């Protein structure tokens, strides 16, 4: 009987170990997992036929939002596989996204890591834009690094300037350095294929990149340029968000994501 009892206890312990091995990883400072759903495959209202490098091969997915995504149900979005969010805060030197504060507070309450982003205008000096961003985005050590959104805006009613590449890179440097000094974190650069090529951003190194590429893997559109995040669709369907959604992936494994978060959210 003693031998049978011992075998029974070993069986139970083995079963517990198997369950633990399948449990989501979580940082030591939190009891909740940083990745609720590994490698989710969201629906898309206008899907791209991925020949290679399909986004659902990546473990960690997230979204980005602005005033066009109102009253997001962040717990539902997180449960569906949204593990991070980029939130629009400011634009130019005088525009503030009216939903920023709501998104900023509710993502934190839901335990969704988030970063604030600024949309750059070439009609306002970079230093002035950096001060505007700082004025509106609080210092939060638990937030991901701030983001500089660099893209052309040909439909803008107020600013359609297209400076030369050297001027673009100089303005980027000014903004990035001011923001990094204030928040103590190296900012992320978001950009699109045309802007990247027009301004020789392959030579602009030293910052993590968030690359937009909705019709091919970044290695097809940006060559060997390194990237940390990839925006793979603007027409995704995410539970908890209404309408078409941008969806992104982190370029790495779940373990790499947990390490990146530990390094960048403190």
Q: What is the pLDDT of residues 138-183, one digit of tens each?
A: 999 999 999 999 999 998 888 899 999 999 999 999 999 999 999 9
pLDDT of 26 over the 80 cut: no
The angle subtended at Cα 103 by Cα 100 and Cα 109, nearest 5°, is 140
151 is catalytic: yes
Per-residue pLDDT of 187-225, as tens digits, reads 999 999 999 999 999 999 999 999 999 999 999 999 999
* pLDDT number for residue 19: 28
28-37, 171-180, 233-242, 245-254: least confidently modelled range = 28-37
pLDDT of 3 over the 70 cut: no
Mean pLDDT for the stretch of residues 91-114: 97
- Find where tokens 């659902």 sit: 56
Query: Exposed, middle or buried: residue 216 (CB in 10 Å: 0-12, 13-18, 19+)?
Result: middle
Identify the DSSP state of 87: E
Residue among 91, 151, 171, 220 flagged as catalytic? 151
Q: How far is Cα 117 from Cα 95, in angstroms, rounded to an integer?
A: 12
CA 66 → CA 33, 119, 146, 151, distances in Å? Answer: 26, 11, 15, 16
pLDDT of 248 over the 50 cut: yes
pLDDT of 15 over the 90 cut: no
- Alpha-carbon Rg for the chain, nearest whole angstrom, is 21
Is the model more confident about 149 or about 20? 149
Q: Is the distance from CB of 81 to CB of 40 less than 8 angstroms?
A: yes
């Amino acid at each position: 009987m003693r031998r049978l009892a011992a075998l029974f206890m070993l069986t139970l312990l083995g079963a517990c170990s198997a369950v633990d091995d399948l449990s989501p990883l979580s940082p030591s400072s939190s009891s909740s997992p940083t990745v609720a759903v590994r490698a989710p495959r969201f629906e898309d209202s206008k899907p791209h036929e991925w020949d290679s490098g399909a986004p659902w091969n990546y473990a960690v997915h997230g979204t980005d939002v602005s005033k066009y995504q109102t009253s997001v149900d962040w717990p539902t979005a997180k449960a569906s596989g949204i593990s991070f969010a980029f939130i629009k805060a400011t634009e130019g030197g005088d525009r503030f996204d009216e939903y920023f504060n709501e998104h900023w507070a509710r993502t934190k309450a839901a335990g969704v890591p988030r970063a604030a982003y600024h949309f750059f205008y070439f009609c306002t000096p970079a230093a002035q834009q950096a001060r505007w961003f700082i004025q509106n985005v609080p210092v939060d050590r638990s937030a991901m690094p701030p983001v500089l959104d660099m893209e052309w805006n040909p439909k803008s009613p107020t600013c359609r300037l297209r400076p030369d590449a050297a001027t673009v890179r100089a303005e980027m440097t000014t903004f990035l350095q001011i923001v990094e000094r204030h928040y103590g974190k190296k900012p992320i650069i978001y950009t699109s294929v045309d802007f990247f090529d027009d301004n020789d951003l392959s030579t602009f190194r030293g910052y993590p990149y968030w690359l937009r590429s909705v019709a091919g893997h970044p290695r097809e559109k940006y060559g060997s340029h390194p990237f940390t995040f990839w925006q793979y669709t603007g027409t995704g369907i995410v539970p908890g968000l209404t309408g078409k959604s941008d969806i992104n992936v982190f370029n790495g494994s779940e373990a790499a994501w947990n390490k990146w978060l530990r390094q960048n959210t403190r």
